[in-house]
């Protein structure tokens, strides 16, 4: 219980059936592979991996690519569905260790709770009563510090189009979280951009995608030119959190242009 826990958070891989499938001009499988290779070069290695949804881009055959790439890490991989996932296919493809979809996991002094905010056929999110009750039960049953993971954003991203597809009953989520002071952070995906704020002492984090990013603070949908990224989290035994987002520049393309210039 006294050791620090290290997590690698990736989000929104948006994989396709075809290995060369691309989202907004970014080949998503190659981009995920580059992100994992970059993260794998960082020490110390993570104790577990967290993926906050949109594992595939509406093509369930993409789960096989995800499973193959993540199994190589030989670490637990905690997953939640996003609006582009197919929950049934996801649970079937990722239903065995090292994968876990939903529920919660205990690591050291921390409990990681995995929430499902998806609504079939909708881009926006909602937390069903049963999901909120499961969250409350998971937090009531343990005195561990808690990191709550969810796909959709529970606060405004100051972006009109994105704020229309967040969690539509976030106040119900915060009502549960406010009743459990051991909750230290909420971390989500969906928004394909970095966010880091606090609410009543709870860290609120969004992690950029492993593929194309969305332009922050934009009224309308717009792609951002920032590169793929991942987040490193250190969950300290004293309940504090250290975290950083690492942007993975396209080293191969940089080398290619240097070659062309030379």
> How is residue 100 written in tokens?
């876990």
| 12 touching Fe ion, by CB under 5 A | yes
Give the footprint of Fe ion on residues 161-220 (CB under 5 A).
none
In the complex, the smallest distance separating the C-beta of residue 154 from Fe ion, rounded to whole angstroms, is: 16
Question: Does residue 116 belong to the site contacting Fe ion (CB under 5 A)?
Answer: no
> 107 or 117: whose CB is closer to Fe ion?
117
Q: Counting beta carbons within 10 angstroms of the beta carbon of residue 18, is it exposed (0 to 12), middle (13 to 18) or buried (19 or more)? A: middle
- Count CA within 13 A, CB hemisphere, residue 219: 0
> Element (H or E) spanning 243, and its range?
strand 241-247
Map residues 137-156 to x or -, x wherever contact with Fe ion holds by CB under 5 A: --------------------
54 interacts with Fe ion by CB under 5 A: yes
Closest approach of Cβ 191 to Fe ion, in Å? 8
Binding piece for Fe ion, criterion CB under 5 A, among 20-28, 54-62, 157-165, 247-255: 54-62
Sequence-distant (6+) residues with CB within 8 A of 134 are: none
Rounded-to-integer distance, Cα 127 and Cα 125, Å:
7
Place of tokens 């065995």: 96
Classify the phi-psi angles of 228: left when phi > 0, otherwise alpha if psi is within -120 to 50, otherwise beta. Answer: beta
Which of 51/134 has CB closer to Fe ion?
A: 51
Q: Write down the least CB distance from residue 223 to Fe ion, Å.
A: 12
Nearer to Fe ion, 108 or 124 (CB): 124
Q: Give me the residues that bind Fe ion (CB under 5 A), please.
A: 12, 54
């Amino acid at each position: 219980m006294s050791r620090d826990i290290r997590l690698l958070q990736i989000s929104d891989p948006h994989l396709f059936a075809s290995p060369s499938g691309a989202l907004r001009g970014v080949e998503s499988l190659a981009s995920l592979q580059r992100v994992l290779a970059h993260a794998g070069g960082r020490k110390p290695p993570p104790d577990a991996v967290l993926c906050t949804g949109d594992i595939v881009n509406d093509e369930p055959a993409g789960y096989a690519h995800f499973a193959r790439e993540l199994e190589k890490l030989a670490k637990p991989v905690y997953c939640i569905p996003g609006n582009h996932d197919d929950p049934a296919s996801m649970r079937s493809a990722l239903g065995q260790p090292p994968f876990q979809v939903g529920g919660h996991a205990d690591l050291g002094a921390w409990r990681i709770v995995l929430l499902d905010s998806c609504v079939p056929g909708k881009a926006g999110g909602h937390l069903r009563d049963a999901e909120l009750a499961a969250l409350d039960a998971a937090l009531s049953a343990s005195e561990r510090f808690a990191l709550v993971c969810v796909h959709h954003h529970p606060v405004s991203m100051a972006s009109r189009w994105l704020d229309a597809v967040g969690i539509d009953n976030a106040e119900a989520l915060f009502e549960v979280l406010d009743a459990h002071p051991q909750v230290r952070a909420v971390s989500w995906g969906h928004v394909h951009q970095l966010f880091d704020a606090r609410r009543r002492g709870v860290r609120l984090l969004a992690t950029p995608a492993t593929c194309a990013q969305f332009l922050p603070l934009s009224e309308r949908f717009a792609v951002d030119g920032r590169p793929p990224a991942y987040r490193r989290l250190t969950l300290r035994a004293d309940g504090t959190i250290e975290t950083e987002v690492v942007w993975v520049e396209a080293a191969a393309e940089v080398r290619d242009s240097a070659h062309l210039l030379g």
